[in-house]
Amino acid sequence: MIRRLIITSALLVAPTVLLAQRGGRTQADKRTELMDKSEIPKGLDIRVRDLEDQSPLHLLIDKRKDLNLTDAQLSQLKDAEEKLKEKNAPLYKSADSLIRATRLTSTSSDGDKSRAQSARNTMTEVIKTLNESYDGARKDAVALLDAQQQPKANELLDKQKEEAEKFFRDRMRRG
């Protein structure tokens, strides 16, 4: 009898206690568009790592098993990737500076807005230059592969390029 009383009271009291702990949300707790500080522009939503990851050589090295690369091909691709990184290092540094500039100048004054827009335009040019560099590296890398590997590599690289264009288009628009 006591056991039933304890179980019944627990079943009646438990929901009440849980509701009291959860608490009700008031209007003041809700997110409002007017006072939302997260909507303030924070600059470009791109990292230098995003630019580096678009390297076709990086993709081919990552997909070495899918492409059945030989050890010689892999070492050639790794050497080419190092050379490409060295060649593009100034572009990566300028991209980093431009990203920082857009973050620092994303306030509401007209001068800051024009500096941010100028940095954005320059960033677009840096991305175009990097893409040209990557296109050249892509041609050289595909030439290293044999006839059976080239179609699969071209398919992977085309997909990567398409996704990169969409990614940067979206990110440049957001910032």
- Give per-residue pLDDT as tens, 143-174: 999 999 999 999 999 999 999 999 888 887 76
pTM: 0.69
For 78-99, give one letter per residue: b (16+ CB within 10 A) or e: eebbeebeeebeebbebbeebb
In angstroms and rounded to an integer, the radius of gyration of the C-alpha atoms of the chain is 27
pLDDT at 36: 52
- Give per-residue pLDDT as tens, 74-132: 999 999 999 999 999 999 999 998 888 877 654 567 777 788 788 888 989 999 999 99
The sign one gets for the Cα dihedral 24, 26, 30, 36 is negative
Taking residue 170's Cβ as centre, other Cβ atoms within 10 Å add up to 11
Kind and range of the H or E run holding 16: helix 2-22
